[in-house]
Amino acid sequence: MSLRHILLGMLQQPHSGYDIKKEFEKSLRNFWRAELSQIYPLLQKMEAEGLISSKVGASDIGPRKRIYRRAAKGSRELNAWLSDGPVVGTERIGYLAQVYFLGHLKDHDKAITFMEELLAYMRRWLDLLESSEAEWRANDPRYPDGLPDSEFYPQLTLDLGLRKVRANVEWCEDCLERMQKRRQRARAG
């Protein structure tokens, strides 16, 4: 039940559902995703539960928005979530499930193609994260350890994102090398 808590965390600042979706795509994509069709109903439900409140306001650029704010009850629930200890052991990694069964592809070249695609994806992702870090570093002299809490902790998640994606890139490269050697051996033998 993390999405509701993520929304509570985001509503430290007032946000519309649409804003929240943007925020997911900009800053949280490393560890969570959510569609508008999940966000809007959940915001309504959370308002009904008294965790957040809303009012309609003008938009700078488009039609009027419904702006949500966190209520006191929402702050307490957010606090409880963070105090309950780390949420671990729930991850599902689709591409690793695929790698586990990659031997099912009888054509060795197809398995190598799979890994090449994965490597390309990881490199693109790494580029994104590195640009994101470079921009942040260039624009804020406090980066990273002088940042206020509200940015310091997000920076920690970017840091782990970078480490993990680098590990993924190196792993893909090693896998490809090992798979190519196996292919050669298979052809020779």
Partner DNA sequence: AATCACTATGTCAATACTTATATAGCACAA
Partner DNA sequence: TTGTGCTATATAAGTATTGACATAGTGATT
* SS3 state of residue 70: strand
With CB under 5 to 8 Å by kind, the binding choice for 65 among DNA, a second copy, none is DNA
Buried b (16+ CB within 10 A) or exposed e, 41-64: ebbeebbeeebbebeeeeeeeeee
Cβ proximity to a second copy: between 12 and 131 the closer is 12
**Omega within 30 of 0 (cis) for the link into 144:** yes
Cβ proximity to DNA: between 36 and 80 the closer is 36
Site residues for DNA per CB under 7 A: 1-4, 16-19, 33-38, 40-41, 43-44, 59-67, 90, 92
Kindly give, in sequence order, each residue whose CB lies less than 8 Å from that of residue 84, ignoring residues fewer than 6 positions away: none
With CB under 5 to 8 Å by kind, the binding choice for 167 among DNA, a second copy, none is a second copy
Question: What is the Cα 30 distance to its own chain's centre?
Answer: 2
CB of 131 to a second copy, least distance (A): 18
CB of 96 to a second copy, least distance (A): 4
161/124 Cα distance (integer angstroms) = 13
Handedness of CA 146, 147, 148, 153 (dihedral sign): negative
Cβ proximity to a second copy: between 59 and 113 the closer is 113
| Residues between 94 and 153 that touch a second copy (CB under 8 A) | 94-105, 110-111, 114, 117-118, 121, 145, 148-150, 152-153
Query: What track of x and - describes contact with a second copy for positions 20 through 39 (by CB under 8 A)?
Result: -------xxxxxxx------
Question: What is the Cα 55 distance to its own chain's centre?
Answer: 29
With CB under 5 to 8 Å by kind, the binding choice for 170 among DNA, a second copy, none is a second copy
Which among 4, 31, 36, 2 is positioned nearest to 20, based on CA atoms?
Answer: 36
In the chain, % helix, strand, coil (3-state, to 5) comes to 65, 5, 25
Instruction: Give residues in contact with a second copy (CB under 8 A).
Output: 2, 5-6, 9, 12, 27-33, 75, 78-79, 81-83, 85-105, 110-111, 114, 117-118, 121, 145, 148-150, 152-154, 156-157, 159-160, 163-164, 166-168, 170-171, 174-175, 178, 181-182
